[in-house]
Structure 1
Amino acid sequence: MKILHVTPFFYPAWAYGGIPRLSFHLAAEQARQGHTVHVVTTDALDENRRQKETRFTVEGVEVRVYRNLSNRAAYHLQLFTPRGLFEERGRVRDYDILHIHGHRNFLNTGMAAWAREAGVPAVLMPNGTLVNIERRRALKAIYDILFGRRQVRAAAAFVAVAEVEKRQFLEAGIPAEKIAVIPNGVALDTDDAGIRFAEKFNLPGRYLLYLGKITPRKGIEHLIAALPLLKDRELCLAAAGNDMGHLAFLKKLVKKLGLDSRVFFPGLVTGPDKAAAYKGAVLTVYPSRDEIFGLVPWESILCGAPVIVAAGSGSEEWVGGARAGTVVPYGSPSALAEAINRNDPQAAAEQVKRGRAFWQERLAWPQVARETLAWYAKIKS
């Protein structure tokens, strides 16, 4: 099968969160399983850097890169404006299927329209972005009226990464027969290169870990507010991730609560630093709402660190369903503190063990890629 993945950010644009990692691992695994896999993306890497290469190959996947008019607009507004994309219009018909990652951007909207024009089925995998939540909601609503709804109607099929996302699709009027629930795969190089995270990032001692983008919906403020309620007053928090406009608020909260000596913001961590962060943590806490899947808890489990996640999310569905972590109500510092206070190393180790077994069965990339390819085949039949 000849597959084209379409995503506004791709390897190695890790500052953009889960979608660049997920699209990369899925494309690479499909290539390993013998398919011809290409990617169309933009040059967005992070707030300050762009991808310099316009064509490159990684893990057997050929990647075509289009330069955004503004990297700043791409990062801060998620406004992707790929110059020269029109040349892809004539190439779309060469593929058996388009797999579109994310929603509400000109790259995906244009490619979806050309796929429909060419009679090539497009699979839309929003990964939590179909619903209008969090920032810039008015702009998103306008985009939906002008382009987004049309793109949804044009899609041949959809991938939901959890039942909670499938319900969102159904509420949006998408027919059930067009939806497959396929979890995200999880992969992480667990080699920490001997790094001691606490020492490298000047933490005073034992720490809780939050890892992910610094945005309002992640619930980091509730975790910070839980610290004064902990029995262990020496336990600190490392909130590691790139700032998407919420860091200043969190720093003011830390100062207000007098927690300057217990809360640290190491920034985006990747590679061995990331593995070391998980391995050194007492617990990884992921208190996010509207989390359609949640890669971080599973990465933590692969590194042997127990996890706490928030209820009412895809994290609860997968982590809680596998009995691989502790689930607490979203937005409750007292519930977070209670869960942290009662953490039992033996029970936590059992949770991690169950989580690893579940990952091997359902979330390892070879299995996820096979499920996705089977969905493509059904769409094509």
Structure 2
Amino acid sequence: MRVLHVTPCYPPTWAYGGIPRVVHALARAQRSQGIGVRVWTTDAFDADSRASVPSRREESGIDVRVTRLASNRLAWRHQLYVPTALPPLDDVDVVHLHSHRHLLNWLAFHAARSRGIPVVLTPNGTAPRLERKVFVKRAWDTLFDGDVPTRADHVIAVSKAEVRQLLALGVSADRIERIPNPIHLEEFAELPARGSFRAAQGLGAGPIVAYLGQITPRKGVERLVAAFGEGLAGATLVVAGAARGMALPESPHVRYTGTLEGPDRLALLVDADVLVYPSTDEIFGLVPLEGLLCGAPVIVGGDCGCGELIGEAGAGLLTRVGDAAELRAHIHTLLADRERASAMVERGRRYVTAHLDPARVAGAHIELYQRMLRA
């Protein structure tokens, strides 16, 4: 069996959020279980540059095909990924689309349909018209691939919250499969020494409260800065990520680092005394789960899939969207009660290891592919 993963971004691209990390972990785990894996992606990298990668490479047995974008600017500013090549469907048995509303999916979906190749979609929270450019998304759905979720052979929901989203969009329950995202556990086997991020940034001895991820209105960074107010127990708020279409609120107690990658990213998670992820409509939320693997106690928005997972694991505190007093109180709680915080972290580590191991998640995907091929 050979699967084609279609994703607009793939490592070494990290500035576009969690989907590249998810696809990378899944592809590696599937290849290690013996199936053929191909990835079709673009050279998107960040706001100012393209990924310096060949158009075709083999990586850990994965056949990675990279199409050059017609415009890097359109990709970064408007998430309009215009490929300059067609999807490589030769010898492909299953097409697995990642994210929603991009031209790679549209091309791959229709090419697969014309060849009778089954298609599965993992929207990872992108199926509803949320947050930015809602009018543009409505127009896109009318002109292009708005019906892909209802026409794909199967749609994967990564949480119960996403199941509800898909049902509301008209996806029939018998075509929805709930499979969580994988977390690449090997990445967290050897962590940076505690204190390395603090020293590199000159942060002193005070507590570090951290946010790591894209900076968009939905992510709640402005609410977190507001909750921090005039300072909080001598702590510094570190905000790490790329700002996407919004100005960064100024505060003397906030340090903005931009996108962090590799060891720098892990070093922040290791040094974080509290990791806050106050996003709304977050259908999964990789960062808090990765933070737990690095020893960081977490606070997450309680109205979404991320809160669902953290609550199920008993691995952190949940906060109501817009309740700055509650968020501030939760930060105080985790900074003051380190025994309670450590217990949450330990429960979170056990949950991630038991449920989100890439081998387990990849096996669930392969079983779904096999059912699709037998249908």
What TM-score results when the alignment is normalised by the length of structure 1? 0.93
> Alpha-carbon deviations, 1:104-123, whole Å to 9, x = none?
01111110011111111110
> What SS is found at the alignment partner of 1:159?
strand
**Alignment pair present for 1:134 and 2:127:** no
**Alignment pair present for 1:335 and 2:329:** no
> Alpha-carbon deviations, 1:80-104, whole Å to 9, x = none?
111122xx3xx52621111100110
One-letter identity of the residue aligned with 1:96: D
CA-CA distance at 1:193 after TM superposition: 4.1
| Cα RMSD for the two superposed structures | 1.5
Same amino acid, percent of matched pairs: 41
One-letter identity of the residue aligned with 2:2: K
Query: 2:208 matched to which residue of 1?
Result: 207
Query: 1:317 matched to which residue of 2?
Result: 308
One-letter identity of the residue aligned with 2:275: T
When structure 1 is superposed on structure 2, of 198-207 and 175-184 the one drifting more is: 198-207
1:184, 1:229 → 2: CA distance?
A: 37
1:229, 1:268 → 2: CA distance?
A: 25
CA-CA distance at 1:226 after TM superposition: 1.4
> What SS is found at the alignment partner of 1:304?
coil
Matching of residues 237-316 of structure 1 within 5 Å: 237-246=237-246, 248=247, 250-251=248-249, 254=250, 259-260=251-252, 262-316=253-307
Match of 1:365 among 347, 352, 358: 358
2:232, 2:24 → 1: CA distance?
A: 42
2:324, 2:283 → 1: CA distance?
A: 22
Q: Do the aligned partners of residues 231 and 46 (structure 1) sit closer, same or farther apart at CA in structure 2, a change above 3 Å counting? A: closer
1:377, 1:84 → 2: CA distance?
A: 29
**Unpaired segments ≥5 residues, structure 1:** none
One-letter identity of the residue aligned with 1:377: Q
Matching of residues 3-22 of structure 1 within 5 Å: 3-22=3-22
One-letter identity of the residue aligned with 1:329: R
> What SS is found at the alignment partner of 1:158?
strand
1:372, 1:346 → 2: CA distance?
A: 38
* Aligned residues of 1:69 and 1:82 also touching (Cα < 8 A): yes
Q: Do the aligned partners of residues 332 and 97 (structure 1) sit closer, same or farther apart at CA in structure 2, a change above 3 Å counting? A: same
1:11, 1:59 → 2: CA distance?
A: 13
One-letter identity of the residue aligned with 2:161: V
* Aligned residues of 1:239 and 1:266 also touching (Cα < 8 A): yes
* Aligned residues of 2:274 and 2:296 also touching (Cα < 8 A): yes
When structure 1 is superposed on structure 2, of 201-210 and 361-370 the one drifting more is: 201-210
CA-CA distance at 1:147 after TM superposition: 1.4
When structure 1 is superposed on structure 2, of 145-154 and 178-187 the one drifting more is: 145-154
When structure 1 is superposed on structure 2, of 196-205 and 217-226 the one drifting more is: 196-205
2:151, 2:106 → 1: CA distance?
A: 10
What TM-score results when the alignment is normalised by the length of structure 2? 0.95
